[in-house]
């Protein structure tokens, strides 16, 4: 049973999709062992608690510097024997944690990488960028996390149509419903069932 540590900071709809996929059998051989938020007000924490999943806030504000914060995060993951770290709306992850979990951290990003990704492209900003450029197709990507921003090997992607009259909020919701909530659970299931490997920097699915 693969033990997941899900890192969140907001509403937690992707966390919800993971928990629902475990309940319905879309994800097999995995369990959510721990949820960590950097934001004490994250609704995601409540979603975890209501399922009886250990949920903890580790706020950077409680530490003297970023390094101490990062050490506390890593310690929490290791003490709880987390085997796969899932970034579900959590932004930057430091090299210290990436090095401790090589190809064992995945991230959901709300665009088709390499478009609309990298520094500054997160949450609603991604969809604002998509609409400003006028592209007709957007989507979501699940990828392994390396020390860059959204640069790691791509596991799964799904395209979503941009529609005339979309606002960033409307497009965000469509990308979540049609892509994120499907490909993130699917990627976890593939990893939990040992079907994903990284060869020459690229993901191969058996």
**Of 94 and 193, CB closest to ligand GAR:** 94
Q: How many Cβ atoms sit within 10 Å of the Cβ of residue 148? A: 10
The answer to the question of residue 176 lying near ligand GAR (CB under 6 A) is yes
From 54, 94, 118, 123, residue interacting with ligand GAR (rule: CB under 6 A): 123
Q: Which residues contact 20 (CB under 8 A, 6 or more apart)?
A: 26, 185
Residue 30 parent element (H or E)? strand 30-37
**Of 180 and 189, CB closest to ligand GAR:** 180
- 109 among known catalytic residues: yes
From 27, 122, 138, 187, residue interacting with ligand GAR (rule: CB under 6 A): 122
From 5, 14, 36, 112, residue interacting with ligand GAR (rule: CB under 6 A): 14
Residue with tokens 């299931």: 189
Q: What's the burial of 202, exposed, middle or buried (CB within 10 Å: 0-12/13-18/19+)? A: exposed
From 11, 54, 118, 168, residue interacting with ligand GAR (rule: CB under 6 A): 11
The answer to the question of residue 37 lying near ligand GAR (CB under 6 A) is no
Backbone Cα Rg of the chain: 16
Could you tell me the two tokens for 47?
């979603």
The answer to the question of residue 168 lying near ligand GAR (CB under 6 A) is no
**Which residues are part of the catalytic machinery?**
109
């Amino acid at each position: 049973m693969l033990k997941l540590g899900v890192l969140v900071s907001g509403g937690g709809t992707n966390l919800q999709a993971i928990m629902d996929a475990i309940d319905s059998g879309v994800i097999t051989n995995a369990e959510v062992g721990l949820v960590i938020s950097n934001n004490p007000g994250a609704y995601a924490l409540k979603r975890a608690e209501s399922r009886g999943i250990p949920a903890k806030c580790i706020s950077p504000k409680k530490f003297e510097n970023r390094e101490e914060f990062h050490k506390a995060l890593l310690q929490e993951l290791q003490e709880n024997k987390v085997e796969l770290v899932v970034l579900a709306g959590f932004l930057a992850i430091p090299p210290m944690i990436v090095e401790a979990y090589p190809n064992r951290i995945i991230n959901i990003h709300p665009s088709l990488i390499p478009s609309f990704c990298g520094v500054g492209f997160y949450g609603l900003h991604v969809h604002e960028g998509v609409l400003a450029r006028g592209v007709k197709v957007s989507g979501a990507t699940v990828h392994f996390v390396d020390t860059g921003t959204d640069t790691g090997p791509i596991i799964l992607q799904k395209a979503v149509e941009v529609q005339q009259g979309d606002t960033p909020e409307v497009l965000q919701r469509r990308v979540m419903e049609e892509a994120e909530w499907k490909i993130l659970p699917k990627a976890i299931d593939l990893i939990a069932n040992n079907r994903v490997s990284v060869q020459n920097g690229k993901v191969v699915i058996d």
